[in-house]
Amino acid sequence: MKKLTILLLFLLLPSTSVLANITPLPLPKTKGQPVGQILLHTTQEGDTLASLARYYGVSPILLMAANPDQDLLLLKPGQEVIIPNQLLLPNADTKGIVINLAELRLYYYPEDGSDVYVFPIGIGRVGRSTPEMTTSISQMRKDPTWTPTTTTRREYEEMGKPLPAVVPAGPDNPLGEYAMRLAYGRGEYLIHGTNAPLDVGLRSSAGCIRMYPEHVEWLFAQVARGVQVQIVNQALKVSTDEYGQTFIESHEPLTPEGLADETPLDMSTLTPLIERGANQELIEQIIGHRQGMPQVVGQLP
């Protein structure tokens, strides 16, 4: 994780302006199976890590995890990049909005129950982490103003960027053009756009959930006040379908302190699978690599 953090500083390099397509992933007919598919992108002149992440709607961290032997910061034409667009659904209600902090993804389940939309997000940085919660949208705001907290104002002042008491709507507003306030706590957490798209897919906010401008505009049009929002932190996702196939998907654990390399994943949920014949060696390999893509670890009776 320390290596990834250093490398991601280079995301400030110019990137091509390519916007993502917003397409649904059909929910599997058999519960427990992965959704989506692994894609392979052949790079062209001008491709960057940031542009691929935005076009395919995948966090830069997940792209790097899926391509551990690739240099994604210095892409060359003809390079083949794995796009990890296959995934297991988080262990949460398949309704409204579900956010899994560990994989830096937001899931939206429309009311018809046939599809799911998946988006990359930015979340709270170390020391300002986004809390887990089950809540709802309490307020919808287009062209929102932003009232920085005392802590945020102090942080900006230390950077030599003093803030007004209220930041008006416009290009200098970090909330972007759309914001959805959550009912949790004092209402200090929002799902919103951003005027800094390179922060999407990273731990970069003061606790809010950031989305690309085109994604939050679309989501804002789909939801309303009262829609349920679940925020979970599941670095290890496990599922078994009706045929006994068991899948595991492993991500870097996220902690408030940011000590991912020193934080072991909770293996307790895997003990029954191993006892029933799942491949323990393969399970340990998947967990160790933490590439963020589901893999079959056994056909259980």
Would you give the distance in Å from CA 75 to the centre of its chain? 23
Query: Which two structure tokens, joined as six digits, stand for 114?
Result: 């046939």
Closest to 210 in 3D by CA, of 108, 269, 124, 144: 124
Query: Of 192, 215, 251, 289, which residue is the catalytic one?
Result: 192
d(CA 205, CA 97): 19
Q: 289 catalytic, yes or no? A: no
Is residue 220 within 8 Å of 180, Cβ to Cβ?
Answer: yes
Q: Which of 41, 208, 251, 289 is catalytic?
A: 208
DSSP conformation letters of 145-167: -B---HHHHHHHHHTT----SSB
Active site residue 192: yes
Contacts for 161 with CB less than 8 Å, ≥ 6 apart: none
Q: DSSP E strands: which ranges in the chain?
A: 25-26, 35-36, 39-42, 80-83, 86-87, 96-100, 105-109, 115-120, 123-124, 133-142, 178-182, 190-192, 203-205, 209-210, 228-232, 236-240, 245-250, 295-299
For CA atoms 236, 241, 243, 249, the dihedral sign is: negative
Q: Which stretches does DSSP call E strand in 64-173? A: 80-83, 86-87, 96-100, 105-109, 115-120, 123-124, 133-142
Residue 278 contacts residue 297 (beta carbons within 8 Å): yes
Q: Measured at the alpha carbon of residue 27, what is the angle toward residues 21 and 28, in degrees to the nearest 5?
A: 130
Q: Which residues are catalytic?
A: 192, 208
